[in-house]
């Protein structure tokens, strides 16, 4: 199956970001992708944290979701919409940071709300997602029938979730063959930890990892690490884009999961 990891450098206004995302989805489809993954906050990296709350959508309705559904149906392609802010009933000040999955008919078939909320502080940077986000609570997998004849089981995660291996072990126990990681890692944390964490999740669970990142200097002066990549079940990076917007496209094979787990049956050797 051919998959596309899309990297962006999103700005503070939603409309231009949607235009860029739409064009990159067109590129992914033109390269033959069956599945395209957008990065976290592809629709906005605001001038301030509360900007995401201002563009929140109700689940099932809104221009961000409409664009994703229309592109999925037009290209007959699975689209995983990075993340977008979804409204929470009864709370006007916070949102869920949500991944939505659209099938090739344009139907939304899965939703995952980010469970782990990022918090970081050093001399020059400070982030606390709990100020504007409400965490999710449930791991999510979905079945994705591919043209290669296999039905892939895909696990969903978002950015800071990457630091919590227990989530990925749960996704593996639920049968995941591949996990998706839309992200907006900061330059500081990405430079230190991004690659090693992604490769570790692939190695310890013996599955494909597809990570789509924000990558560059943004309009709000935030700098993100980029390095969108696709990693095989042996932990090898098979495709990568370091910075700037664009698509990382790769053919992935279901048999590599089988081979890795047969050659080194670590999952069978678990004690706990």
As annotated, the active-site residues are 40, 114, 159
Q: Which residues contact 124 (CB under 8 A, 6 or more apart)?
A: none
Q: Six-digit token pair at 16?
A: 């231009």
Q: Which helix (H) or strand (E) holds 172?
A: helix 165-173
Question: Are 109 and 80 a contacting pair, CB within 8 Å?
Answer: no
Distance separating alpha carbons of residues 251 and 148, to the nearest angstrom: 11
Would you give the DSSP letter of residue 194? I
Instruction: Give whole-number Cα distances, 114 to 83, 93, 181, 249, in Å.
Output: 9, 17, 11, 25
- What are the beta bridge partners of residue 36? 4, 79
């Amino acid at each position: 199956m051919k998959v596309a990891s899309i990297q962006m450098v999103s700005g503070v206004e939603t409309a231009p970001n949607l235009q860029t995302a739409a064009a990159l989805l067109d590129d992914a489809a033109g390269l033959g992708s069956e599945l395209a993954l957008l990065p976290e906050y592809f629709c906005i990296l605001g001038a301030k944290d509360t900007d995401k709350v201002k563009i929140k959508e109700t689940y099932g309705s809104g221009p961000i979701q409409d664009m994703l559904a229309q592109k999925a149906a037009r290209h007959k392609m699975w689209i995983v919409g990075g993340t977008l802010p979804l409204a929470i009933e009864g709370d006007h000040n916070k949102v869920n940071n949500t991944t939505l999955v659209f099938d090739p008919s344009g139907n939304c078939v899965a939703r995952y709300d980010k469970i782990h909320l990022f918090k970081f502080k050093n001399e020059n940077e400070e982030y606390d997602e709990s100020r504007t986000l409400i965490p999710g609570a449930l791991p999510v997998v979905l079945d994705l029938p591919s043209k290669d004849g296999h039905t892939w089981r895909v696990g969903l995660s978002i950015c800071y979730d990457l630091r919590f291996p227990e989530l990925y072990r749960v996704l593996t126990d639920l049968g995941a063959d591949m996990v998706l990681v839309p992200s907006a890692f900061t330059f500081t944390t990405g430079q230190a930890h991004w690659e090693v964490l992604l490769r570790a999740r692939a190695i310890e669970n013996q599955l494909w990892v597809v990570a789509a990142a924000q990558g560059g200097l943004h309009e709000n002066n935030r700098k993100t690490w980029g390095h969108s990549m696709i990693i095989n079940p042996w932990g090898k990076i098979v495709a990568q884009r370091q910075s700037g917007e664009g698509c990382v496209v790769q053919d992935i094979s279901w048999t590599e999961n089988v081979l890795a787990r047969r050659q080194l049956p670590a999952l069978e050797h678990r004690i706990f």
